[in-house]
Amino acid sequence: MNIATVPPAPLDSEPVTEPSKEQLLEISMGPQHPSTHGVFRMKVVLDGERVVRLKPVFGYLHRNHEKIAESVTYLGSMPYTDRLDYMCSITNNWGYALAVEKLAGIEVPERAEYLRVICGELTRLQNHACLIGFLMQDMGSTGTPLMYAFREREKILDLFESLTGARMMCNYMRFGGCRVDLPAGWLDRAKKVIADFPRFLDEYERLLVSNEILMDRTQEVGVLSRELAVSAGISGPMARASGVDYDIRKVDHYSIYDRFTFRVPLGSHGDVYDRFMVRLLEMRESVGILQQATRAIPAGPIVDPKMKIRGFRPKPGEAYGRIESPKGELGFYLISDGSPNPYRYRVRPPSLINLTVLEDLCLGRNVADIVAILGSVDIVLGEVDR
Amino acid sequence: MEPRISGVDETLKNELSKQGILTTTLQELYNWGRTSSIWPLNFGLACCAIEMIATTMARYDLARFGAEVFRPSPRQADLMIVAGTVTKKMAPQVVRLYNQMPEPKYVISMGACAISGGPFKQGYNVLKGIDRYIPVDIYIAGCPPRPEALIDAFMELQKKIDAQQLTGENRPRHLSADQPSEFTVPRFGEHDLEPTRNPAIWKPPLVQIAQAGTDEFGSH
Amino acid sequence: MNLEAIKSEIEANVPGCRLELVANPSPSGQHSLLLDGEHAVAVATYLRDAAGLRFDFCSNVTGIDWPGKEVSQTATARKIVDGLEQEVEEVGTTAIPGYLDVVYHLYSVEKKHGPLVLRMRTQDRHSGVHLPSLTPVWRSAELQEREVFDLFGVFFEGHPDLRRLLMWPGFVDHPMLKDYVDPDDYEYEPTAHDVVLRRVNQHRSEAGGR
């Protein structure tokens, strides 16, 4: 079967190939399918079980967040950023707050930075745990790893709820700091959750890492080379599993990450198993950062005292701010024209850019591998489609 | 639990049950079977889907209420929980899935976005409520609603099914031959969906015009 | 990483290119380089491959709409009024045409520096919207340029697969343009306010003020 003989898709048309001429089967995986990544559709052309062509279709959750942001104030967009990557609302808030702080030159006090790091790393823990759970469920382990992951996630969501008032849509960051300070006893509860987490990680590793079915289905599947990863703009654990040594926490030196010692796990094969292992190891590093941060958090204000939010009008100009979110590089590009609303508000979505190479990873594999590969890319449709 | 509707006198029932004789009606039995085994369709769209998944997990176990398995295929599901924003690009697929479900079927509209467009109301691609195209039984407010709210809605649905009469004027939709169970699927137009709503299902409600003639600050 | 130095290096190595430094007045200090359409691909390839620069990671591609505006100016002119020569003020309006902007943010994975901001401008907003695609240089621009085509209407020449990304294929508008009017389905709003209230009241008055 010569892949080059399949005609390329013409502009703006629906079918990918003419079914009467070739013995190929075109199926549509999605937009409603049992994988929990959301409303994502892939038009797959198959030769038997092997993938010949794969075209993703986006836009089923396009809620025009960027257009709405032009008609609300800067702070009014903060709850909308919660709903971008809805598993990790606090890191979305952080990326946006960082971009606005770059645009307007706002400083963040030290206690607020510590709070940001603690909440951000807790978010990373629950995101990676749930992702591994979803990946295992997509591959057919019907729920057990996902149940364990959600058990830990509930503990972390309880912490978020007592701090910010909401389980998922936390809306916690403000320009120049955080919205609200820690209630009494929160830090002790958080330390207990963090101290219990390595035991959960040990249990997870014992269950999954040497599992034969997992290794058979994920090793040498969906191999992403280092050069393609860099050229395609892949970021986050997916790039690091291919050997790209780029963690924005280490490169940009944003916030106070320079004060904490943590390692950046790198993979060497770039397959689904490596992406899974990188996330598992990153969880351990996050626990280390959390232990250091909760020990060293100082007293002080939680928001910049010079910052006035009423009538906040940054000077005309533009800024691009980015953070290492659990999915990859989350960036916000803001253009201000001196009015209370942004002139242009752009989200750089890691999930969408990481999907650039989906076709390359899936070509020549079986249909069952598509599910494993898609699960390892770690997408959330709220971010892909905005 | 509220007492179920029964055609048999209550004291007679109690006396008979003390002797080990259970009496019931066909309607009660039929409704009890359907109430206790509502199988939802695996249909999460956006953020509310994560709360729906959390409801099925170990802490807020939804399986206790009969929703043991979430079916991936609409042909095997009774309930469609529309969890998340329905966009105009997705709306035809939602209606198609609803049409493919066999009767009796129910819809729970979970979250502000599925009720009326939610925080994304000013969207060119956002459908302002799924009840424009398909009939909805229960609405849950919240953004996202807590898992307890979803369980509460589930229990409301169970009460609603329990109260259904099998014969007479107030029969449910699937037992009367002249009520449709499939609805028109909207098409993609050049600027919007066509039609923008299904007039047989949704008409703009008559609202008390306390604000007609006022500006955005409520003054005349 | 000095933008002036990078600009002179590119001008020395890519013959014929015209670059312009666009200053950024905000405290972020992220100034940008405006490229011309003919040499954009050559400049991009040089930035990616040059030993000292190695900008191999294209992080973000953004489209921006700058609608045209009319600026009124007052000018004094000598004119004869009522038989006497006087200075009269005349008000004239000049139309500044609008254009679409495409901005690229580049980083370097190898050298760990960045961001470098590149810009390209179209002729106008509706018909002269052709720009060269930088997807052959950086693969990450593929989906993002498709999105700029979908939402703004910029046509990228040399893009391997330019289709709409987020809206359905039969959609004809470009929704992120500043003068886009979204479809009118505001018949009922439970808690209407601001813009939405105005549009709801339009519906109500048309329907006879229910």
Render pLDDT for B53-107 as a digit per residue (tens, 0 to 9).
Answer: 999 988 998 989 888 888 888 999 989 999 999 999 999 999 999 999 998 889 9
Write out the residue range of the structural domain in which residue C50 sits: 3-64+100-174
Lowest mean pLDDT among B142-146, B162-166, B215-219: B215-219
Sequence-ordered strand ranges (E) for C23-133: 32-34, 57-66, 69-81, 84-96, 99-107, 116-121, 130-132
Please give the structure tokens belonging to residue B105: 């079927």
Share of chain A above pLDDT 90, in %: 64
A325 phi, psi to nearest 5 deg = -80, 165
- Do C37 and C132 have their domain in common? yes
- Do C168 and C186 have their domain in common? no
- Residue C179 has what pLDDT? 87
Contact of C115 with C31, CB cutoff 8 Å? no
| Domain assignment of residue C206, yes or no | yes
Q: Report chain C's mean pLDDT, rounded to a whole number.
A: 83
pLDDT value at B218 more than 70: no
- Do C57 and C122 have their domain in common? yes
pLDDT in tens, C39-92: 889 999 999 988 888 899 999 999 999 988 877 777 776 666 676 776 767 777
How is residue C108 annotated by DSSP? Answer: -
CB contact under 8 A, C209 and B207: no
Q: What pTM did the predictor assign?
A: 0.89
3-class DSSP state of C206? helix
- Do C119 and C208 have their domain in common? no
Distance from CA of A86 to the nearest CA of B (A): 6
- Do C45 and C123 have their domain in common? yes
- Residue B71 has what pLDDT? 85
Q: Where is pLDDT greater, at C181 or A9?
A: C181
Of A34, A150, A382, Cβ closest to residue B46: A382
pLDDT in tens, C168-183: 888 888 888 888 888 7
Of B43, B50, B125, Cβ closest to residue A32: B43
CB contact under 8 A, A169 and B143: yes
pLDDT value at C206 more than 70: no
| Domain assignment of residue C41, yes or no | yes
Distance from CA of B70 to the nearest CA of C (A): 29
CB contact under 8 A, B192 and C189: no
- Do C130 and C164 have their domain in common? yes
Residue B207: which pLDDT band, with cuts at 50, 70 and 90? low
| Domain assignment of residue C71, yes or no | no
B217 to chain C, any CB pair closer than 8 A? The answer is no
* Count of structural domains within chain C: 2
- For A11, nearest residue in chain C (alpha carbons): C163
Q: Under 8 Å CB-to-CB from A137, ≥6 apart: which residues?
A: A36, A143, A145, A146
Count H helices and E strands in chain B, helices first: 6, 6
pLDDT in tens, A249-262: 999 888 899 999 99
CB atoms within 10 A of CB A165: 13
CB contact under 8 A, A58 and C165: yes
Q: Chain B residues with CB-CB distance to A under 8 A?
A: 42-47, 49-51, 53-54, 57-59, 72, 84-85, 87, 89-90, 93, 97, 119-120, 122-126, 143-144, 146
CB contact under 8 A, A38 and B124: no
Contact of C108 with C99, CB cutoff 8 Å? no
Of C172, C185, C198, Cβ closest to residue B128: C185
- Chains touching chain B through at least 3 C-beta pairs below 8 angstroms are A, C
CATH number at residue C126: 3.30.460.80
- Residue A330 has what pLDDT? 94
- Residue A161 has what pLDDT? 93
| Domain assignment of residue C186, yes or no | yes
- Do C20 and C40 have their domain in common? yes
d(CA B166, CA B156): 19
| Domain assignment of residue C82, yes or no | no
Chain B residues whose beta carbon lies within 8 Å of the beta carbon of residue C172: 190-191
pLDDT value at A119 more than 80: yes
Of A61, A67, A168, Cβ closest to residue B51: A168
CB contact under 8 A, A246 and C112: yes
- Do C185 and C169 have their domain in common? no
Segment (H or E) for C45: helix C40-49
Contact of B75 with B101, CB cutoff 8 Å? yes
CB contact under 8 A, A63 and B126: yes
What type of residue sits at position A118? I
Peptide bond before residue A15 is cis, with ω within 30 degrees of 0: no
> What's the rounded mean pLDDT across residues A217-236?
91
Domains, chain B: 8-36 (no CATH), 38-211 (3.40.50.12280)
- Do C24 and C113 have their domain in common? yes
- Do C199 and C121 have their domain in common? no
The predicted complex's ipTM stands at: 0.87
d(CA C180, CA C198): 17
CB contact under 8 A, B58 and A381: no
d(CA A62, CA A382): 8
In the 3-class helix/strand/coil scheme, how is chain A assigned residue by residue? CCHHHCCCCCCCCCCCCCCCCCCCEEEEECCCCCCCCCCCEEEEEEECCEEEEEEEECCCCCCCHHHHHCCCCCHHHHHHHHCCCCCCHHHHHHHHHHHHHHHHCCCCCHHHHHHHHHHHHHHHHHHHHHHHHHHHHHCCCCCHHHHHHHHHHHHHHHHHHHHHCCCCCCCCEECCEECCCCCCCHHHHHHHHHHHHHHHHHHHHHHHCCCHHHHHHHCCCCCCCHHHHHHCCCCCHHHHCCCCCCCHHHHCCCCCHHHCCCCCCCCCCCCHHHHHHHHHHHHHHHHHHHHHHHHHCCCCCCECCCCCCCCCCCCCEEEEEEEEECCEEEEEEEEECCCCCCCEEEEECHHHHHHHHHHHHHCCCEHHHHHHHHHHHCCCHHHHHC
Q: Which of C165, C188, C197 to mutate to test the interface with B (most CBs of B within 10 A)?
A: C188
- Do C31 and C111 have their domain in common? yes
3-class DSSP state of B160? helix
- Do C187 and C170 have their domain in common? no
Sheet hosting strand B138-140, strand order edge to edge: B40-41, B79-83, B106-110, B138-140
Sheet hosting strand A41-47, strand order edge to edge: A25-29, A41-47, A50-57
